[in-house]
Amino acid sequence: MTVSNKIATPDNFYWPQCNSIASAKIVDKAVILHWNDDQQSTLHPVWLRDNCCCELCLNPITREHLLDLRDVSLDIRPSAVEVDAEGALVVTWSGDQHRSRYNPDWLYAHSTEQRSQRDDQMRLWSAADLCEPPSLDAIDGIVTDELLYEALLTILRHGMVRLRGLPTDTAQVETLALRIGPIRETHFDRIFDVISKADSDTLANTSHYLAAHTDIPTRESPPGIQILHCRIAEAKGGHSTLTDGFKVANDIKQQFPAYYKTLTSVKWCHANRAGPTDYRWSAPIIGLDDQGELLEVRLLPFSRAPLQADYKDMDGIYAALVCFLDLVNCSDYQIRFPLQAGDLIMFDNRRVLHGRSEFSPKTGDRALRGTYVERDDVMSKIREFEQQQSRNG
């Protein structure tokens, strides 16, 4: 353990040792740090004071702020700065002479140019890049922590992963889901079986072809990650399909900008219409975040409510929808592969569209079991694994 690991940070996390502070000075009201890799940080006094982690300012157990910012003057200034023997930045504040001490590794991570590696990790794909989901083998049917970590990173990159060689018992899917996070319950069963049955109230539980879709766009927040475990694969047909909706969205943006504008702005209502529940939600098919970046795709073609739009706009809206439907179901973008008993796929249900080909129940059984967790459960689990790895060095 390095010395700086012993210097408190505002959190309980491990900040790997990067660089030390070469010098600290006050310029006007800012604290300027020079790092020994020649980077410079200009720290705002209120930001520094806000992040003081002494026991008066931060609860030492919960790592929650005790300092109430209303008690800090927005004109606060540092009266002295120094780098102490352990490499920490120590700031003495004008007025009450409060002293704050900052861990250099934490400061470096929060104030220098460190590009978010996560953003770089998403790799959009079409059928030219992959013909089946990236796959990982569960040796002896066991999903180790290392395997789970790799699987979650793969979801982050490609929006999908397949684990192979799992046992086919009914407990697998729930056990795995709970290792990632709490199960995202919906108005369907918490753990659901996808099997063909006569009186089904959803197309999924028939033997019909399912066009590329995302599950449950009828909810304000559709489930983030879908997990499907194949337990029985005896029936002929029923191949799985997956399509990277973000890749299709990006290509439409380049090739058909007018359709992109329509797909990202016109709201379609998705509705579960068989009752007795009545969930419905209106949103564009391609959802962007407040920075204009791709956030989600919503499409359940067979559960769309009637379009509500002016007559004059309908030509354009339908043309954009059909363009999207064509591309997400075409062999340039959609991959198609058989699932074997013991396979488990996990995919980002708000990025990757899934479907299946028709199957013939007379030729044998087909049974999948599934559930959902959320996207941010995956992110938290990845960070948790990475914290463990850093701590273990």
Which residue ranges make up the site for Zn ion (CB under 5 A)? Answer: 52, 54, 56-57, 215
CA 280 to CA 274: how far, in whole Å? 12
Q: Nearest distance from residue 241's CB to ligand OGA, in Å?
A: 8
Residue 24's binding partner among ligand OGA, Zn ion, none (Cβ under 5 to 8 angstroms by kind) is: none
For residues 219 and 245, give the distance between their C-alpha atoms in angstroms, rounded to a whole number. 19
**DSSP type of residue 197:** -
Which partner in Zn ion, ligand OGA, none is near 381 (CB below 5 to 8 A by kind)?
none
Min dist CB 125 to ligand OGA, Å, is 20
Provide, rounded to whole angstroms, the least separation between the CB of residue 148 and ligand OGA: 23
Please report the DSSP string for 262-295 in residue order. HHHHSEEEEE--SSSS--EEEEESEEE-TTS-EE
When asked if residue 240 is in the footprint of ligand OGA (CB under 6 A), the reply is: yes
Peptide bond into 276 cis (omega under 30): yes
The listed partner (Zn ion, ligand OGA, none) that binds 54, CB under 5 to 8 Å by sort, is Zn ion
Closest approach of Cβ 56 to Zn ion, in Å?
Answer: 5
The three-state secondary structure class of 310 is: coil
Q: Which CB sits closer to Zn ion, 54 or 232?
A: 54
Which of 98, 85, 99, 109 has the alpha carbon at shortest distance from 33?
109
Q: Which is nearer to ligand OGA, 188 or 259 (CB)?
A: 188
The radius of gyration of the chain from alpha carbons, rounded to an integer in Å, stands at 26
| Angstrom distance (rounded) from CA 243 to CA 236 | 22
368's contact among ligand OGA, Zn ion, none, with CB below 5 to 8 A by partner kind, is ligand OGA
Closest alpha carbon to 274 in 300, 298, 303, 299:
303
With H, G, I as helix, E, B as strand and everything else as coil, classify residue 354.
strand
210 makes contact with ligand OGA (CB under 6 A): yes
191 is an interface residue for ligand OGA by CB under 6 A: no
Q: Which does 194 bind (CB under 5 to 8 A by kind): Zn ion, ligand OGA, none?
A: ligand OGA
Binding of residue 215 to ligand OGA (CB under 6 A): yes
| Binder of ligand OGA out of 136, 177, 204, 294 (CB under 6 A) | 204
| Closest CA relative to residue 231, chosen from 293, 274, 173, 280 | 173
Q: Cβ(128)–Cβ(320) under 8 Å?
A: no
| 52: partner contacted, choices ligand OGA, Zn ion, none (Cβ within 5-8 A by kind) | Zn ion
303 binds, among ligand OGA, Zn ion, none (CB under 5 to 8 A by kind): none
Query: What would the x/- binding string for ligand OGA be over residues 315 to 354, using CB under 6 A?
Result: ---------------------------------------x
Burial class (CB in 10 A: 0-12, 13-18, 19+), 50: middle
Residue 356 makes contact with ligand OGA by CB under 6 A: yes
Minimum distance between the CB of residue 271 and Zn ion, rounded to whole angstroms?
A: 16
Interface residues with ligand OGA (CB under 6 A)?
194, 204, 210, 215, 240, 354, 356, 368
